[in-house]
Amino acid sequence: MNHNPLYLSVMGTMGSGKTTVARLIARHFKFHLVEENFGENAFLPRFYKKMNRWAFHSQTFFLMEKINQLMGIAEERKQYSIIQDTPIEQDVFSYAQVQHSLGNMDDAEWKLYQKIYTSFVPHLPKPDAIIFLDTSISELQKRIQSRGRGYEKKIPKNYLELLDKFNRDWIGENKKVKIILIPTDGLNIVTSAKAQENFLSTIQKYLIHC
């Protein structure tokens, strides 16, 4: 395994298990964990009630949070390895792009959002690898229901499908960051110690080559 500090990020459609995986990797490999700040986004519950009113506010909050995180990561990775819950590329090219595609962010809002992103992106660190949790739509729906976030339970299937499509589109077009694709259907890393062991063993093999 490379002894230089690594910066990894976990990507996957909503419900794929990004937070669980990031925490597991942090604990096992002694990486510094960088998590998303869902609870601090005051616009998120409003967004799920009235998407076309609050999409731009909610997505811009997440974008600025991620930019601040990445600025911190640039310094932290000089000292120790980092695992991040959700790369900025997923915020921009999946979550936010879906809102524009659905008409919840109009063209002017989308243009401003992209302008903010493109003005910062040259100065932000890129992950050494992105771990993509490859999960079917039916499995995503089950996991969303089981984790019990009230505002997520009414998310329609076609919304999840669109998020998933944009994630996969970005992965297909990406030429800059190494992708580690992990199928997760039937991989219950929340409660199964054996599944956790198998998952970590797979990651270990990839880390040797990072």
Per-residue pLDDT at 152 exceeds 90? no
State residue 136's pLDDT score. Answer: 95
Whether 130 contacts 81, CB under 8 Å: no
Average confidence (pLDDT) over 116-125: 96
Q: Give the separation between CA 78 and CA 57, rounded to whole angstroms.
A: 33
Angle between helices 51-76 and 107-120 (to 10 degrees): 0
State residue 150's pLDDT score. Answer: 60
**DSSP assignment string, 171-196:** HHH--SSEEEEEE-TT--TTT-HHHH
Q: Give the separation between CA 180 and CA 178, rounded to whole angstroms.
A: 7
Residue 22's pLDDT band (cuts 50, 70, 90):
very high
State residue 58's pLDDT score. Answer: 95
> Residue 38 carries which side chain, given as an amino acid letter?
F
Tokens of 11: 């990507």
State residue 210's pLDDT score. Answer: 63
Q: Which residue from 28, 38, 20, 52 is spatially nearest to 207, judged by alpha carbons?
A: 28
pLDDT, one tens digit per residue, over 157-208 is 899 999 999 999 999 999 999 999 999 998 888 778 888 899 999 999 888 7
Of 68-72, 109-113, 189-193, the poorest mean pLDDT is in 189-193
Whether 84 contacts 127, CB under 8 Å: yes
Average pLDDT, whole number, for the chain?
91
Residues in the chain: 210
Tokens of 76: 């932290």
Tokens of 89: 């590329």
Q: Report CA-CA distances (Å) from 31 to 18, 35, 58.
A: 15, 12, 29
State residue 2's pLDDT score. Answer: 52
CATH topology of domain 7-207: Rossmann fold (3.40.50)
State residue 151's pLDDT score. Answer: 59
Of 32-46, 61-75, 174-188, the poorest mean pLDDT is in 32-46
State residue 206's pLDDT score. Answer: 85
State residue 3's pLDDT score. Answer: 63
Average confidence (pLDDT) over 41-63: 92
Average confidence (pLDDT) over 87-91: 96
Tell me the pTM. Answer: 0.90
Q: Give the separation between CA 150 and CA 45, rounded to whole angstroms.
A: 9
Please state, for a pLDDT cut of 70, what percent of the chain lies above it. 93
